[in-house]
Amino acid sequence: MTDSTPIPDNFATRLISWQRQHGRHDLPWQATRNPYHVWLSEIMLQQTQVATVIAYYLRFLELFPTLPDLAAASQDQVLAAWSGLGYYSRARNLHKAAQQIMNVFGGKFPQDVQQVAELPGIGPSTAAAICAFSFGQRHAILDGNVKRVLCRFFGIDGFPGQKAVENQLWQIARQLAPQQDIEAYTQAQMDLGATVCIRGKPQCLICPLQQDCVARQQGRTTTLPTPRPKKAIPERETVMLLISDGQRLLLLKRPPTGIWGGMWSFPEVDSTLAAENWCLTHLGMAAEALPPLAEFVHVFTHFRLTITPLPMRVAKAPAVNESTCLWLTPAEANAAGIPAPVRKILASVHGT
């Protein structure tokens, strides 16, 4: 597409008409204009499929029914409610933003899109969606689904994550946003990208935009959007120590930022050879190392982590600083804010 390429006048109206007939209407966050509910759904839906989000969304609102409830909760409580959903910085930022809204805006969710975008973990596209669904404001969104639809419809080359391509897509998205029915239009873009103009095999025959889609006309639906340039995925290894006193396991609180920030996890060492020394150094006692369990791979966005669980036994649990260490039963550990690999290990060892 070039700057002189015309923007179809009926792009938005076609999408709105399609959404009203074929789009999604029964998602739990669609029946409200409560900005707290809308915001929560938009954060949970970042990089996570709708089918996975629904149960977490409903349970989260049971635990934290209002924004003040969320702000007043501890980070441990928030991370425990988020446990298993992944990308835990979303939960930490959600909690920080709730506290910021209480402190800066008196507990009232801001309606200015720029103020919303500046809250922790939100950004311009999510802020636009929140303001459209909560307040009916006309703003363009540009999430992954919208990028895919626009790249295919207008035949835009280049990886959408590159700044120049993203700027072009923002310009188009803003031009396309209609003056009316912005809620239906915003939902239509999300629905079309999630159910019809999908990444693998787009359902072009039922797409309301098919007749003008450049990718369809040129047979390029499998090559647009341009994929991210490939880079070798780094490989890392760790040994997780399952230190037990026979009834309880030792968990450590991870640093507030970084991988699994603020969550509870097993102690880690670089190799099984370092395990006994860790116990002597940190617990002041020896521990018996048992045969390691089967290693497994946990995949992050930017690297792959091979985890070797190593059971260890101490004769008696020493006293620990409970702000950074806890002795927990498997059931208590499962109720805490733990990352998915820890939950997987607990399930394999204790069936919890």
Residues that are catalytic = 42
**Sequence-distant (≥ 6) Cβ neighbours of residue 328 within 8 angstroms:** 248, 249, 251, 264, 336
Cite the beta strand spans of 233-317 per DSSP E.
235-244, 249-253, 264-265, 268-269, 288-289, 296-299, 304-313
Residue 238 near residue 270, CB atoms below 8 Å? yes
Provide the b/e sequence for 37-49 (b: ≥16 CB within 10 Å). bbbbbbbbbbeee
Task: Give the DSSP letter of residue 177.
Answer: -
CA distance 314 to 291: 15
Opening angle at CA 88, ends 261 and 75, nearest 5: 65
Q: Tell me the backbone φ, ψ of residue 306, rounded to 5 degrees.
A: -90, 120
